[in-house]
């Protein structure tokens, strides 16, 4: 069985310091949280950036500052900027990080209700546009799928030549408006992708660690982090991203899954490393 790739989503665009004081806003805080996750075993840092007041931004310069700060602290780590951005952003606003020499980025593969009146919009043409830009810039896409229809969209666009192999999926389960994170949901999605594809699982809230264990068991990879879940156990706030990564490392021992280094993660995912 492949070594386990741990991705840490250190901040997201929605969770705040009022939710958990360890959520990073500043460049310094972002680099420190990334460093602690890296030390704990994260090979990939899933990156959103914030202004110093905590408001989300896709500003290219802000991403560049954060990426450079993380690279100084975390040699070799894979930095995976989000192109999801925040609700209401335009295509090109969301794509700003792809103007930087990055190896990997997320590509959201369908529209989703996000609770209340919020809708996370990703039309078929949006997905084609994002995929085209990433291909041109040799950026490996992580295919974010919140439900089965998103996987079907990926497979259809792959067949038509818009999304290219190798396919690496991220099952994001437990979002209000998407699929829940029960075992049946995980197995349904896992069985819906090609045998040669790789996958990671991001469980939201209480689903984070049960899904992490399932993915470890079934040969997949795991994403954790304060973007997805602010608790280390029921009612107990995590003291930073490090604790969440450490818990996955302990879960991996149950199935004797070794933890992948960043370079091993590149090999597993067929990522083309950019010269820095």
pTM of the model: 0.97
Beta strand 140-145 with 168-173: parallel, antiparallel or unpaired? parallel
What are the Cα distances from residue 267, in Å, to 2, 69, 109, 270? 10, 24, 24, 5
pLDDT tens digits in sequence order for the chain, 276 residues long: 799 999 999 999 999 999 999 999 999 999 999 999 999 999 999 999 999 999 999 999 999 999 999 999 999 999 999 999 888 889 999 999 999 999 999 999 999 998 889 899 999 999 999 999 999 999 999 999 999 999 999 999 999 999 999 999 999 999 999 999 999 999 999 999 999 999 999 999 999 999 999 999 999 999 999 999 999 999 999 999 999 999 999 999 999 999 999 999 999 999 977 755
Do 255 and 217 form a contact (C-beta atoms < 8 A)? Answer: yes
Architecture of the domain delimited by 6-269 = Alpha-Beta Barrel (3.20)
Q: Report residue 83 as tokens.
A: 């192109």
CA distance 78 to 7: 9
pLDDT value, residue 116: 87
d(CA 40, CA 27): 20
Give the start-to-end residue ranges of the domains of the chain. 6-269
pLDDT value, residue 178: 93
**Torsion angle in degrees (nearest 10) through CA of 261, 264, 265, 269:** 180
């Amino acid at each position: 069985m492949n070594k386990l790739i741990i991705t840490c989503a250190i901040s997201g665009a929605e969770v705040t310091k009022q939710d958990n004081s360890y959520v990073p806003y500043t460049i310094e805080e972002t680099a420190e949280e990334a460093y602690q996750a890296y030390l704990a075993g994260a090979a990939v840092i899933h990156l959103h950036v914030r202004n110093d007041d905590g408001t989300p931004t896709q500003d290219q310069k802000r991403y560049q500052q954060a990426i450079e700060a993380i690279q100084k602290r975390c040699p070799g780590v894979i930095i995976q900027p989000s192109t999801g951005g925040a609700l209401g952003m335009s295509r090109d606003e969301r794509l700003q990080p792809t103007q930087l020499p990055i190896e990997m980025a997320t590509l959201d593969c369908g529209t989703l209700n996000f609770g209340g009146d919020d809708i996370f919009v990703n039309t078929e043409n949006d997905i084609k546009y994002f995929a085209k830009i990433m291909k041109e810039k040799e950026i490996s896409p992580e295919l974010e799928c919140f439900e089965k229809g998103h996987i079907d969209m990926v497979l259809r666009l792959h067949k038509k030549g818009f999304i290219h192999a190798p396919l690496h999926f991220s099952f994001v389960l437990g979002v209000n408006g998407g699929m829940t994170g029960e075992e049946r949901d995980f197995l349904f999605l896992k069985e819906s992708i090609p045998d040669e594809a790789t996958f990671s699982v991001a469980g939201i809230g209480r689903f984070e660690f049960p899904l992490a264990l399932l993915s470890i068991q079934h040969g997949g990879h795991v994403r954790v982090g304060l973007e997805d879940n602010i608790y280390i156990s029921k009612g107990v706030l995590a003291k930073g991203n490090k604790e969440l990564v450490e818990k996955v490392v302990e879960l991996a021992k149950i199935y004797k899954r070794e933890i992948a280094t960043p370079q091993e993660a590149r090999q597993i995912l067929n990522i083309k490393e950019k010269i820095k």
